[in-house]
């Protein structure tokens, strides 16, 4: 692969070349780079992030036991859920966490807990073939990993094969065509985009570092079903030994934006938080806009009032969010449109 220094050197040389030679030289560079990328993929070579080499196959991490397509976590991986969901082109998601043996994550406030080095977060994206009947199976598309090492988070994306037996590390983004039937019985087709490493880093950008987005304490602080019982998820984590002793009542909880028993204001602010705030915050990728969508931010500080007409316009045109979707979230758009009407 060409390094930045290599490219700068070639640029300097090309400045003195005739036009035809320049064109031929750039064609040669492009072909060489493409061959190198394909060679890396074929030979199972991986990119290295923060000195962590990402393994070539998802199965190398022993995340699942039995048939991989069943997505049954191995004993060291724990299921977790978040209170309100990020829209990702109508995919279903399974979220898992693994901590090194004998360690715990520490909750100090409503934000991200302090994860020990060696923590692995796993998120798998899939579609039910027929959402009306989940027993008809599913199509697994990709699994994303975040691994903490040396106090830094490292991202990797794995594309599942057609046999649904394993997934392979991706070094470039790719689009996957998916057919499924939604819960209304309507056939759907979508070109689902599996991101490359740079796209992952754009959304997971905080203070110039890659960071998790979803597992904030306020996103985890709600009741879930475990072992046929209803239990607060933070309490469940303590019972399984992966969270320090805390009182869930001492933390806030992000509302579920799909809960129609809540006010439109609560639901809309929760939707904007989970779908937009990872970029639109003082330390995020879109910090220069001055717009802050975090749920805990007071309305006057968010600047929502100043850009209220632009929000549904950009959502309906597909301009926002910039990454992570290829189709419009119609239900989310309806909610935000209703919210804006009453401001």
Asked if residue 29 has pLDDT above 90, the reply is no
In this prediction the pTM is 0.82
| Side-chain-side CA neighbours of residue 304 (13 Å) | 24
Average pLDDT over residues 99-106: 96
Segment 135-144 mean pLDDT: 96
Q: Is the pLDDT of residue 7 over 80?
A: no
Answer yes or no: are the C-beta atoms of 240 and 80 closer than 8 Å: no
Nearest to 205 by CA among 142, 153, 254, 149: 153
pLDDT band at 50 (very low <50, low <70, confident <90, very high): low
* pLDDT level of residue 203 (50, 70, 90 thresholds): low
Q: Which two tokens stand for residue 90?
A: 């109508």
Q: Residue 46 — pLDDT band, cuts 50, 70, 90?
A: very low
pLDDT tens profile 216-253 = 999 999 999 999 999 999 999 999 999 999 999 999 99
């Amino acid at each position: 692969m060409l390094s930045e220094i290599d490219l700068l050197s070639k640029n300097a040389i090309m400045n003195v070349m005739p036009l035809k030679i320049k064109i031929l030289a750039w064609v040669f560079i492009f072909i060489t780079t493409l061959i190198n990328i394909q060679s890396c993929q074929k030979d199972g070579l991986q990119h290295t992030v923060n000195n962590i080499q990402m393994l070539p196959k998802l199965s190398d991490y022993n995340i699942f036991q039995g048939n991989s397509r069943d997505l049954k976590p191995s004993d060291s991986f724990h299921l977790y859920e978040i209170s309100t969901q990020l829209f990702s082109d109508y995919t279903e998601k399974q979220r898992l966490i693994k901590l090194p043996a004998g360690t715990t994550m520490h909750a100090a406030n409503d934000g991200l807990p302090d994860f020990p080095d060696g923590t692995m977060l796993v998120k798998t994206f899939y579609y039910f073939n027929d959402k009306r009947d989940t027993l008809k199976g599913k199509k697994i598309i990709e699994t994303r990993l975040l691994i903490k090492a040396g106090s830094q988070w490292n991202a990797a994306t794995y594309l599942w094969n057609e046999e649904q037996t394993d997934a392979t590390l991706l070094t470039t983004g790719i689009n996957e065509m998916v057919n499924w039937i939604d819960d209304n019985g309507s056939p759907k087709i979508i070109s689902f985009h599996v991101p490359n490493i740079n796209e992952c880093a754009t959304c997971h950008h905080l203070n110039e570092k890659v960071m998790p987005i979803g597992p904030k304490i306020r996103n985890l602080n709600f009741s879930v079903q475990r072992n046929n019982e209803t239990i607060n998820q933070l309490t469940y984590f303590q019972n399984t030994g992966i969270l320090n002793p805390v009182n869930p009542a001492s933390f806030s909880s992000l509302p579920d934006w799909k809960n129609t028993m809540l006010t439109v204001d609560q639901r809309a602010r929760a939707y904007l938080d989970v779908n937009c705030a990872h970029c639109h915050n003082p330390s995020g990728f879109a910090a220069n806009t001055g717009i802050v969508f975090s749920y805990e931010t007071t309305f006057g500080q968010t600047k929502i009032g100043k850009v209220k007409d632009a929000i549904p316009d950009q959502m309906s045109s597909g301009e926002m969010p910039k990454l992570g979707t290829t189709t419009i979230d119609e239900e989310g758009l309806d909610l935000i449109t209703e919210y804006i009407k009453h401001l």
